[in-house]
Amino acid sequence: MALYGMLAWFSEFFIKKPSTKQRSQVPQNDSPTQLPVIQLMAPPERRSTASLETPLEGPSAFPPPSKTPSEALLAFPSSLDAPSTLAPSPQTPLEDPATLLSSSETSARTSRCYPDLIQFRRHVTSKYIKLQGGEKDFLPINLQKELVTRDSVLSAFKAIGETESAELDRIVDFVLRKGERVFLILVLMTYNNAEKVSALREFERAGVGDDKLPLELSNEELLKLMPKGWEDNDFELFRVHQWPLMAPTFGTNFVYHLHESQPLPYVELPSKPKGQGFFGEVSRAEIHEAHIIEKVRPAENARANNHPNGIAVAIKKAKDSQELTEFFNQEVEGLRRTNELDSPHIIKIIAAYQRGSDKCLLFLWADGGNFADYWREHNETRNMPETIRWSMEQVVCLCGALRDIHQNNGYVA
């Protein structure tokens, strides 16, 4: 590489946060001007361990039915929010914009209601991650698994008056093996005296599990497998409630083509762009740790998260330009090859995804700065022997990272 090329690279190098002992000698800056692809290394820092996900409160199965609907309503937790905080009386229609009861159910209303199932529905929606700023609500994948247990499925059937049987055992096994989301969607469809949990029989019989989701009304083949007797409003209600359960888990694949209604698993929304270039702009965000597979998560002491369950990431969003589409695909392929290199000075790409017109690259966040930031902020220590030695070591390692990239014929933006 020509000398000017090398100098251009150095201006874009990013460093990780230093150890506590060397903080006076290593930069602390989280405002890069370019996306970090090659990074400087500082001695590892001991950080406090991020708190674990708050466990679900109470037993896994919801309480047995109360003697009367009014007693059951009094037993509901007052702390639960969301539109369904207060359950309606059996005589009063539920005033919920998401309620889409079929005409047959509306005309066939009876005095029976399902207070315990409604309580469980409230418990599920209380676990949603809700952010201001336009991003869609979602239920983290780890909480979905905690909510769906053998006891909770059996309790749901008990709430609609069904007792244990060999058939019910088969349905429970189906839910636990391949229908966790389907079960939760049917629970979320419970309003007033209308329940859908019993439809699990038909889902199990037709083999319609989580792998068939998302349900789209244009998918005629899948619609044929759905429960007989469902009307348009039933399908629409199912479609609406599936999306909060469909946030992707990054790292299982490399490229993701997401539906426009599919939520992204943010626990902290993207910040204002930290840098901009020919390709696009770079922002910092935090993704729920359960939605990044373990092998690509950073070590606990290397995280730069603000949220206790977040992992800081750099989101490189491509400009909305038809001319850049081919360039985006080239960069994705080059970064895929670069990901195979085993170098601590090359930041790994987590995933590439497209949602609607948005085309984004997702990297682990390097929470340091570049050399220019370092010299500017630590001018008083730049001539210290320890600082000079550390800087030279980083230069040697960065040159090695560049050599590895070019030998691998990888492409780097």
Residue 129 has pLDDT above 90, yes or no: yes
Mean local confidence (pLDDT), 254-258: 93
What pLDDT, on a 0 to 100 scale, did the predictor assign at position 315?
93
Residue 162: C-alpha distances to residues 150, 159, 182, 280, 361 (Å): 15, 7, 19, 56, 49
What pLDDT, on a 0 to 100 scale, did the predictor assign at position 163?
82
What pLDDT, on a 0 to 100 scale, did the predictor assign at position 62?
52
What pLDDT, on a 0 to 100 scale, did the predictor assign at position 366?
78
Residue 400 has pLDDT above 50, yes or no: yes
Residue 224 CB coordination number (10 Å): 9
Mean pLDDT of the chain: 74
In this structure, are residues 148 and 184 in contact, taking their beta carbons and an 8 Å threshold?
Answer: yes
Distance of alpha carbon 123 from alpha carbon 81, whole angstroms: 9
Residue 392 CB coordination number (10 Å): 10
| Residue, of 111 and 343, whose pLDDT is higher | 343
Helix (H, G, I), strand (E, B) or coil at 206: helix
Residue 233 CB coordination number (10 Å): 16
Distance of alpha carbon 98 from alpha carbon 100, whole angstroms: 6
Question: For the chain, how big is the Rg over CA atoms in Å?
Answer: 26
Among 2-11, 169-178, 292-301, 308-317, the least confident range: 2-11
What pLDDT, on a 0 to 100 scale, did the predictor assign at position 332?
85
What pLDDT, on a 0 to 100 scale, did the predictor assign at position 51?
36
Residue 92 CB coordination number (10 Å): 9
Strand partners, 311: 287
Residue 128 CB coordination number (10 Å): 16
Q: Would you say the pTM of this structure is higher than 0.75?
A: no
Among 62-76, 107-121, 225-239, the least confident range: 62-76
- In 3D space, the residue among 345, 141, 349 whose CA is nearest the CA of residue 251 turns out to be 349
* Sign of the alpha-carbon torsion through 56, 116, 124, 295: positive
Distance of alpha carbon 269 from alpha carbon 137, whole angstroms: 12
| Residue, of 299 and 278, whose pLDDT is higher | 299
Distance of alpha carbon 170 from alpha carbon 326, whole angstroms: 49
pLDDT band for position 33 (cuts 50, 70, 90): very low
Residue 3 has pLDDT above 50, yes or no: no
| Residue, of 10 and 253, whose pLDDT is higher | 253
What pLDDT, on a 0 to 100 scale, did the predictor assign at position 40?
52
In this structure, are residues 89 and 69 in contact, taking their beta carbons and an 8 Å threshold?
Answer: yes
Share of the chain above pLDDT 70, in %: 69
Distance of alpha carbon 377 from alpha carbon 304, whole angstroms: 20
> What torsion, rounded to 10 degrees, do the Cα atoms 289, 290, 295, 301 define?
30
> Strands 310-318 and 349-355, how do they pair?
unpaired
What pLDDT, on a 0 to 100 scale, did the predictor assign at position 186?
97
Mean local confidence (pLDDT), 5-29: 40
| Residue, of 10 and 376, whose pLDDT is higher | 376
Helix (H, G, I), strand (E, B) or coil at 110: coil
pLDDT band for position 170 (cuts 50, 70, 90): very high
Mean local confidence (pLDDT), 342-353: 85
Give residue-wise pLDDT tens across range 74-124. 233 333 333 333 333 333 333 343 444 443 443 333 346 788 999 999 999
pLDDT band for position 24 (cuts 50, 70, 90): very low
What pLDDT, on a 0 to 100 scale, did the predictor assign at position 22?
40
Mean local confidence (pLDDT), 259-278: 83
Residue 204 CB coordination number (10 Å): 20
User: Hey, what domains does the chain have and what are their CATH numbers?
Assistant: 3-52+253-407 (3.30.200.20), 69-126+141-245 (no CATH)
DSSP 64-83: PPPSSHHHHHHHS-TT--ST
**Residue 90 φ/ψ region, left for φ over 0, alpha for ψ in the -120 to 50 degree band, beta for the rest:** alpha
Helices marked H in 33-140 — which ranges?
69-75, 103-107, 115-125
* Sign of the alpha-carbon torsion through 119, 125, 127, 131: negative
Helix (H, G, I), strand (E, B) or coil at 134: coil
Mean local confidence (pLDDT), 359-379: 80
Mean local confidence (pLDDT), 252-278: 85
Helix (H, G, I), strand (E, B) or coil at 39: strand
Residue 343 CB coordination number (10 Å): 19
pLDDT band for position 277 (cuts 50, 70, 90): low
Among 153-162, 198-207, 320-329, the least confident range: 320-329
